[in-house]
Amino acid sequence: MLPVLTLRSKAPEQTRELAAALAPMLAPGDVVALSGELGAGKTCFVQGAARALGVHDRVTSPTFTLVRTYPEADVPIVHCDVYRLDRLQDVLDLGDEVLAPDVVTFVEWGDAVASLLPDDRLDVELTLADDEDLDGDRLVRLRPTGPHWQRRLEDLADACAAWRVEG
């Protein structure tokens, strides 16, 4: 198991900035599984990474459409949200493009479908730093898994150093 990087974001724009900082490491075939409560910042994270990868359109949560694609990005992006899906089969029915080898896939609520995702992925968990402060800081835990992310661990840590929480 690779080490977990714990980061702190003090505002939605910082969440976007830290995602943008790690975006250059993303390559075709990568999967980023996002987890966290409603309003934790999952879509903000995708917005920052997408902008850094060349998306100029507005990036919004695909909660109702389930999947949004951004083929104009430097690396094409698929952004899906599995929150409203009832069965694992529903996820499989989203189509082959969701986990295609030529795109970067962001999966909101990815923890709910982890068994369907590749073992080699980046898990991103966003939580409130203080459970009582809904508008407060967020902790962003990056859990890289698999050999592909193991090779990039040092670069990932360097890219996110400005937000790193010690301990």
Task: Classify residue 90: in a domain, yes or no.
Answer: yes
Task: Classify residue 39: in a domain, yes or no.
Answer: yes
Task: Classify residue 139: in a domain, yes or no.
Answer: no
Task: Classify residue 97: in a domain, yes or no.
Answer: yes
Q: Residue 140: which of 125, 119, 161, 155 has the closest Cα?
A: 125
- The rounded radius of gyration (Å) of the Cα atoms in the chain is 15
How many structural domains is the chain composed of?
A: 1
**Which residues, other chains included, contact 131 with Cβ-Cβ below 8 Å and sequence gap of 6+?**
none
pLDDT of residue 74: 92
pLDDT of residue 135: 84
Grouping H, G, I as helix, E, B as strand and the rest as coil, residue 119 is: coil
* Residues 10-69: tens digit of each pLDDT: 999 999 999 999 999 999 999 999 999 988 999 999 999 999 999 999 999 887 678 899
Q: Please give the residue range of the domain that contains residue 35.
A: 13-122+147-159
CATH number at residue 51: 3.40.50.300
Task: Classify residue 166: in a domain, yes or no.
Answer: no
